[in-house]
Chain A
């Protein structure tokens, strides 16, 4: 076991996906890197639905492993408050983009790669503050097993999750309005009777209340509820209501409870200070509709690690230089995030009968295999099919018209 030394190139605050991805990339680029994780274990507590995108694995140069790949599925069922449903089915002959993982094991596997790359990971290490000399950030103060340590670093990467306490200590403005965050509660349910080849999204009891079922294989699944902080009731109360209402779920046992709050206003206006850069949930890099974060953390972590090393080598770790990560992120995901945000706002504004009509119109959607080739993503396909609905039911022109138009810019 490596002891905590004093001087590092890069100190990473937080050992989640963003922190581990950053550390891996930076260590591979030759930097001396240390990761501080407050919790006693990497991978716990689970604060996500454990749905991972293949692109995250590509970014991290990881291969799917039997140790943590839980379940692949090809169908997604959407159910309206009134019980009308649509089924979206991926073709059988392509790699499905939908799979769940055992996050606790996956993250430990990633930590192993980080360690093999030469970085040091320390658990039970809480970063208390930044060290500043003449106003310049030059390291972090860490409490590790009741001991207070000062660890010097040329660049600090803040991967400390939603709200980023470390970013705020550096003077970065982080949104705090509850309207910019989703509250989520999730159970792992065991002994339930669901189709393991199908994920489900239920708008229950209203179009603003999003309940999901992510199958993990062998009769268990992550079942969760999420909405804006200003939702109908507490996330856990809404989740209890959903589980009770669905007899397939009600017969199961709760074997784990996970809760959390995630930013849904897109990447924050500012994500850097001199010698400090925020990555992942800390920087708001979360899909504003699906609240998916791991693939963005993986993408941004790899770039942040390399950027920090380049910045150190060039002797310029200024706010502007490190903030280049935000520009790159926006170039790649900005339009999509804005669209997802618009989609959420639109869905939240719909009447329950609107969803009934939409889902009845869609029916059984088979996504064609050709959409899986190249860089286009098949998620927009069902939306394109809604164009026909505008003609059938003109009231949707006002409700969906702008959205379907906006899709063209993203697809």
Chain B
């Protein structure tokens, strides 16, 4: 499952746009990944402009 480094994150929502499983939600200063839905495809890691998304 992917996780978001909240200190790097700029909360742009790019990860939400490319998430194939609608597993990510961005609240104002918080990114939440639903572990039940995430299929670890890595789309969000690829597009994140600041490198906040990653695998632990």
Binding site for B on A (CB under 8 A): 38-40, 45, 47, 126, 161-163, 165, 168, 174, 176-178, 181, 183-185, 229-230, 234-237, 257-261, 263
Q: When the two chains form their complex, are residues B17 and A183 in contact, meaning their CB atoms are under 8 A apart?
A: no
Known: A163-B13, A165-B16, A176-B20. A183 touches B43 (CB 8 A): no
Q: When the two chains form their complex, are residues A163 and B46 in contact, meaning their CB atoms are under 8 A apart?
A: no
Complex Cα–Cα for A257 and B12 (A):
11
Complex Cα–Cα for A275 and B23 (A):
25
B2, CB-defined interface residue at 8 Å: no
The residue in B14, B16, B28, B51 that gathers the most chain A C-beta atoms within 10 A of its C-beta is B14
In the complex, 27 of the A-B residue pairs with CB atoms within 8 angstroms, ordered by the A residue number, are: A38-B28, A45-B11, A45-B12, A47-B12, A126-B27, A161-B17, A162-B14, A163-B13, A177-B43, A178-B43, A178-B47, A183-B14, A183-B47, A183-B48, A184-B49, A185-B50, A229-B43, A234-B49, A234-B50, A234-B51, A236-B50, A237-B51, A259-B10, A259-B14, A259-B50, A260-B49, A261-B13
Interface membership of chain B positions 13-55, coded 1 if the CB is closer than 8 angstroms to chain A and 0 otherwise = 1101111101000011000000000000001001111110000
Q: When the two chains form their complex, are residues B28 and A181 in contact, meaning their CB atoms are under 8 A apart?
A: no
Q: Which residues of A contact B11 (CB under 8 A)?
A: 45
Given contacts A162-B14, A165-B16, 19 further A-B contacts (CB under 8 A): A45-B12, A47-B12, A163-B16, A165-B22, A168-B22, A177-B43, A178-B18, A181-B47, A183-B47, A183-B49, A229-B18, A229-B46, A229-B47, A235-B49, A236-B51, A258-B10, A261-B14, A261-B18, A261-B49
Interface majority SS on A: helix, strand, loop or mixed?
mixed
Number of A-B contacts (CB under 8 A): 78
- Specify the chain B residue showing the minimal Cβ separation from A257: B10
Q: Which residues of B contact A184 (CB under 8 A)?
A: 49
CB distance from B50 to the nearest CB of A (A): 5
- Specify the chain A residue showing the minimal Cβ separation from B16: A163
Q: When the two chains form their complex, are residues A259 and B49 in contact, meaning their CB atoms are under 8 A apart?
A: yes
Q: When the two chains form their complex, are residues B50 and A181 in contact, meaning their CB atoms are under 8 A apart?
A: no
Complex Cα–Cα for A108 and B19 (A):
31
Complex Cα–Cα for A165 and B15 (A):
11
CB distance from B22 to the nearest CB of A (A): 6
Complex Cα–Cα for A185 and B12 (A):
10
Q: Which residues of A contact B51 (CB under 8 A)?
A: 234, 236-237
Among B10, B17, B20, contact of A181 (Cβ-Cβ < 8 Å): B17
Complex Cα–Cα for A37 and B16 (A):
17
CB distance from A130 to the nearest CB of B (A): 14
Q: Which residues of A contact B43 (CB under 8 A)?
A: 176-178, 229
CB distance from B25 to the nearest CB of A (A): 8
Q: When the two chains form their complex, are residues A176 and B19 in contact, meaning their CB atoms are under 8 A apart?
A: yes
Complex Cα–Cα for A178 and B44 (A):
8
The residue in A126, A161, A260, A261 that gathers the most chain B C-beta atoms within 10 A of its C-beta is A261
Q: Which residues of B contact A181 (CB under 8 A)?
A: 14, 17-18, 47
The residue in B12, B20, B49 that gathers the most chain A C-beta atoms within 10 A of its C-beta is B49
Complex Cα–Cα for A163 and B18 (A):
7
CB distance from A223 to the nearest CB of B (A): 14
Q: Which 6 A-B pairs have the closest CB atoms?
A: A163-B17, A261-B14, A229-B47, A235-B49, A259-B49, A162-B17
Q: When the two chains form their complex, are residues A261 and B50 in contact, meaning their CB atoms are under 8 A apart?
A: no
CB distance from B37 to the nearest CB of A (A): 13
